[in-house]
Structure 1
Amino acid sequence: MTESASPKAGDQSVDSRGNGAAMGAASGACHGGTPSGGLARNTLVVAGATLLSRVLGFVRDVIVAFALGAGAAADAFFVAFRIPNLMRRLFGEGSLTMAFIPVYSRVREEQGELAAREMARSALIWLLLILGALTLVVEVLAGPLTYVVAPGFADDPERFGMTVQLLRIVFPYVILICSVALCMGILNAHGQFLAPALAPVMLNVALIGSALAGYYAGGDVAVCMAGGVLGGGVLQWALQQPALRRQGFTWRGAWSWRDAGVRRMALLMLPTVFGAAVYQVNILLGTLLASFLPEGSVSYLYYADRLVQFPLGVFGIAVSTAALPSLSALAAKNRMEEFHGTLGSALGLTIFISLPAMAGLLALAEPLMKLLFLRGAFTQEAVRASALALLAYAGGLPFIAGLRPLVAAFYSLENTRTPVVVAAVSMVANIGLGAWWMGGYGHVGLAMAVSVSSALNFSLLLWFLGRALGKYPAPLLTILKCLVLSGVVFAGAWASALGPYLLWLGMIPVWVVVYFAGAVALRVPEANLLLSALRRRVRGKTSRKAS
Structure 2
Amino acid sequence: MAQNRMRSMVNLANRKMSVKWAAILLASSTLLSSLLGLYRDRLLNGLYLDSYRVGIDAYTVAFTIPDFMFFILVSGALGVSFIPVFNQRLDTGNKKSAWELSSSMINFMALITLVASILIMIFASQLVYIISPGLDESGHALAVSMMRVIAVNPFLFAIATVIASMQQAVGRYMFYALAPTIYNIGIIIGALFFTNGITIFGYQVFEGGIMGVALGVVLGAIMQLVVSAIGLLGVGFDYHFKISWKNKGFRQVLRLLPARSLDQGIDYVNGFVETNLASHMADGTIRAYQQASALSLMPVNLIGVAISNAAFPKMAERLNQGRNDLFMSELRSILRVIIWLALPTAAITFFARGYVVNFIKNGGFPLISGLLGVLVVAILFRTIYHIAARAFYAQQDTKTPLYVSIFSIGLNIILAVVFTQVFGWGVYGLAYAQSLMALIEVVILFCIIGRRMPGFFTRAFVGAVGKMSIATGSMSLITYLTVTLLPLRNNDQNFISTFPKFMIIAFVSFSIYIWVSKWFHLVEADPVVRRLQQIFFGSVRRK
TM-score norm. by structure 1 comes to 0.85
Q: What is the deviation of 1:508?
A: 1.7
Q: Which has the higher contact order (CA 8 A, sep 6+)?
A: 1
Residue in 2 that maps onto 1:482? 468
1:277 Cα shift? 7.1
Give the Cα–Cα distance (whole angstroms) in 2 for the partners of residues 90 and 515 of structure 1: 39
Please state if 1:225 is matched with 2:213. yes
Match of 2:172 in 1: 192
Tell me if structure 2 keeps the 8 A contact 1:369–1:387: yes
Residue 399 of structure 2: aligned partner:
417
Q: 1:452 aligns with which of 424, 432, 436?
A: 436
1:446-466 Cα deviation digits (max 9, x unpaired):
011111111111111111122
**Which one of 357, 365, 369 corresponds to residue 357 of structure 2?**
369
Task: Give the equivalent residue in structure 2 for 1:317.
Answer: 305
Code of the residue aligned with 1:48 in structure 2: it is: S
Q: Is the 8 A contact 2:483 2:505 kept in 1?
A: no
Show the 5 A alignment for 1:44-63: 44-63=24-43
Using the alignment, how far apart are the partners of 2:197 and 2:121 within structure 1?
28
Contact 1:63 1:211 in 2 (8 A): yes
CA contact (8 A) 1:496 1:504 kept: no
Of 336, 343, 353, which aligns to 2:324?
A: 336
Shift of 1:477: 2.5
**Cα offset for 1:56?**
0.6
Deviation of 1:252 after TM superposition, in Å, equals: 4.9
Contact 1:72 1:159 in 2 (8 A): yes
Q: Aligned to 1:282, which of 266, 270, 289?
A: 270
Judge conservation of contact 1:434–1:449 (CA < 8 Å) in 2.
yes
Aligned mate of 1:437, from 395, 419, 435: 419
Of 322, 332, 336, which residue of structure 2 is paired with 1:348?
A: 336
1:433 offset after TM fit, Å? 0.5
Tell me the distance in 1 between the aligned counterparts of 2:456 and 2:167: 30
SS state at 2:176 partner = helix
Which residue does the alignment assign to 1:80? 62
Equivalences for 1:92-491 in 2 at 5 Å? 94-110=76-92, 112-153=94-135, 156-217=136-197, 219-252=207-240, 256-275=244-263, 281-374=269-362, 383-439=365-421, 440-473=424-457, 475-491=461-477
- Residue 175 of structure 1 aligns with an amino acid whose one-letter code is F
CA distance in 1, matches of 2:322, 2:66: 37
Kept in 1, the 8 Å contact 2:100–2:239? The answer is no
Cα 1:45–1:89, aligned 2, differ >3 Å: closer, same or farther? farther
CA change 1:410–1:190 in 2 (3 A) is: same
Taking structure 1 as reference, are residues 45 and 230 closer, same or farther at Cα in structure 2, changes over 3 Å only?
A: same
Counterpart amino acid of residue 64 in structure 1: L
Amino acid across the alignment from 2:517: A
Cα gap change, 1:108/1:473 in structure 2, threshold over 3 Å: closer, same or farther?
farther
- Shift in CA distance, 92/157, structure 1 to aligned 2, threshold 3 Å: same
Distance 2:476 2:272 in 1: 30
% identical equivalent positions: 23
| Correspondence for 1:509 | 507
Aligned residue type for 2:124: A
Which consecutive unaligned segments of at least 5 residues does structure 1 have?
1-24, 32-37, 543-547
Q: CA RMSD in A?
A: 2.6
1:288 shift after superposition? 2.5
